[in-house]
Structure 1
Amino acid sequence: MPPTSPLPPLPAAVLWDMDGTLVDTEPYWIRAEQELMAAHGRSWSHEQALELVGNPLTVSAGMLHDAGVDLPVPAIVDHLLARVHDQVATSVPWRPGARTLLAALGDAGVPCALVTMSYATLAEAVTAHVPGAFATLVTGDQVERGKPDPQPYLIAAERLGVATADCVAIEDSPAGITSALASGARTLGVEAVLPVEARDGLSRAASLADVDLGVLRRMVAGDVLDLLPASR
């Protein structure tokens, strides 16, 4: 019997985005934005809301302020966070396959970090439902430069004591994907409310239900994978 080839290594760590990637909270954010705009006598379309996906909260709040919300940017951020936090307290809408992959990584001893532009209060509310799954949380109120800057992912890798090039980052938004790629991490874009457009070095999937440890091993080995349906 010929010798079997050794398996490619697992990632040194997996760096997870939260909104739209780990949990399907983007509809919560959109609802909160639309409610706030309506309270100030303004409309806010779904298309306008999609322009905010993945942005630092201060950037999104600034855009809402410019569109007619008569509140200071910090107050807008606080309002959105509180409204989404209330919705998460009622129900955490996990993305398909997310908890299965988290569990597999935990069983394999691969550390995970959460890298989100949401603030710590919301990230902690979500991760409380998966105790021990994340070794560190990098949140929007902990960084000087949010996504699409690479700083959040660089901080996560530094905290874990690993090189970003040995990590897999999982993202859904254009800003988040730009951040992860710029950090040097092997990056997987998983479609949520926005399509994931092809980019150099970017692996893509329609759902985390299509992603397992074998997929992550292949990415670490240098493969760029396209797991989107062939009809795309």
Structure 2
Amino acid sequence: MTTDSPAAVLWDMDGTIVDTEPYWMQAEEELVGSFGGSWTHEDGLQMVGNGLAVSAAILQDAGVALSTDEIIQRLTGRVQELLETDGVPWRPGARELLAELSERGVPTALVTMSMSSMAEQIVDLIGFPVFRLIVAGDHVENPKPHPEAYLLAASKLGVPIEHCVAFEDSVPGVAAAAASGAVTIAVPHIVELPEHPGYTLWPSLAGRTLSDIATVFVETSQNQEVVTP
């Protein structure tokens, strides 16, 4: 771990570490279809990065006559089935960067709006120990884009949030990470993210290292010091 490295790195899961969005979209399409409705790819895009309760409300509006908890359990269960049968689709460079952080002793946390059972399943399948803790959707009152999950992760790790770097891929996720005060790196996947002064945009994690993270952390921290009165 270098002197200029962040105190911790906080990771979103779906779309950032693993490409589970197609699994979620399949689960949504199947669920809506079971109630006689139709669900398109464009419909699925509006769900990316949302808290599961928010997604459940959208599905109820699409005709799914189930309670919020029932929808969450049905979706999560189906995605977990697909992970078991079809495997874990890792995002390019994610496992390699996680491995380096683990080897270098950089504290990390998983910050996801998925249920803790699914997050634990993904963590178990990584193949090496990396995350010191998981903050999942069923651990917080307020889903992303609210910063609660990131603030909770930093608090549990015992580090100031402004000394953390957060990785995200979605609009709600990037908004949550940036609002928390973490140095935010956006790695868009299914939904395009525009350039913005509130975060650093990387097209991919492929080939990225701790040195790259440290560079963003130092440059962003210095810029924040310049604009702070």
Please give the TM-score of this superposition, normalised by the length of structure 1: 0.91
The equivalent position to 2:89 in structure 1, one of 83, 88, 93, is 93
Aligned to 2:154: 157
Distance 2:5 2:177 in 1: 18
Aligned to 1:204: 201
Aligned to 1:25: 20
Where do residues 65-76 of structure 1 align in structure 2 (5 Å cutoff)?
A: 65-76=60-71
- Is this contact kept in 2: 1:15–1:112, CA < 8 A? yes
1:71-108 Cα offsets, whole Å, 9 max, x none, are 11111111000000111122011111001000110111
Identity of aligned residues (%): 48
Aligned to 1:79: 74
The equivalent position to 1:52 in structure 2, one of 47, 53, 69, is 47
Equivalent position amino acid for 1:47 in 2: E
The equivalent position to 2:130 in structure 1, one of 130, 133, 136, is 133
- Is this contact kept in 2: 1:8–1:220, CA < 8 A? no
Runs of 4+ that moved beyond 6 A? none
2:166 counterpart of 1:166? no
Per the TM alignment, residue 39 of structure 1 is displaced from its structure 2 partner at its CA by 0.9
- Is this contact kept in 1: 2:15–2:189, CA < 8 A? yes
- Is this contact kept in 2: 1:22–1:94, CA < 8 A? yes
- Is this contact kept in 2: 1:172–1:191, CA < 8 A? yes
Equivalent position amino acid for 1:222 in 2: E
Per the TM alignment, residue 222 of structure 1 is displaced from its structure 2 partner at its CA by 2.2
Equivalent position amino acid for 1:136 in 2: L
Per the TM alignment, residue 211 of structure 1 is displaced from its structure 2 partner at its CA by 2.1
Distance 2:108 2:141 in 1: 22
Higher helix share: 2
Q: Secondary structure at the match of 1:222?
A: helix
* Pairwise CA RMSD: 1.2
Equivalent position amino acid for 2:94 in 1: A
Per the TM alignment, residue 201 of structure 1 is displaced from its structure 2 partner at its CA by 2.6
2:24 counterpart of 1:37? no
Per the TM alignment, residue 66 of structure 1 is displaced from its structure 2 partner at its CA by 1.1
Distance 1:202 1:171 in 2: 10
Per the TM alignment, residue 56 of structure 1 is displaced from its structure 2 partner at its CA by 0.6
Per the TM alignment, residue 223 of structure 1 is displaced from its structure 2 partner at its CA by 4.0
Aligned to 1:112: 108
Distance 1:157 1:176 in 2: 16
Long gaps (5+) in structure 2: 222-229
Q: Secondary structure at the match of 1:93?
A: coil
Per the TM alignment, residue 8 of structure 1 is displaced from its structure 2 partner at its CA by 5.6
- Is this contact kept in 1: 2:166–2:183, CA < 8 A? yes
Long gaps (5+) in structure 1: 1-6, 225-232
Distance 1:185 1:211 in 2: 19
Distance 2:198 2:74 in 1: 37
Q: Secondary structure at the match of 2:9?
A: strand
Q: Secondary structure at the match of 2:56?
A: helix
Flag the 1:8–1:204 CA change in 2: closer, same or farther, 3 A.
Answer: farther
Distance 2:8 2:194 in 1: 25
Please give the TM-score of this superposition, normalised by the length of structure 2: 0.92
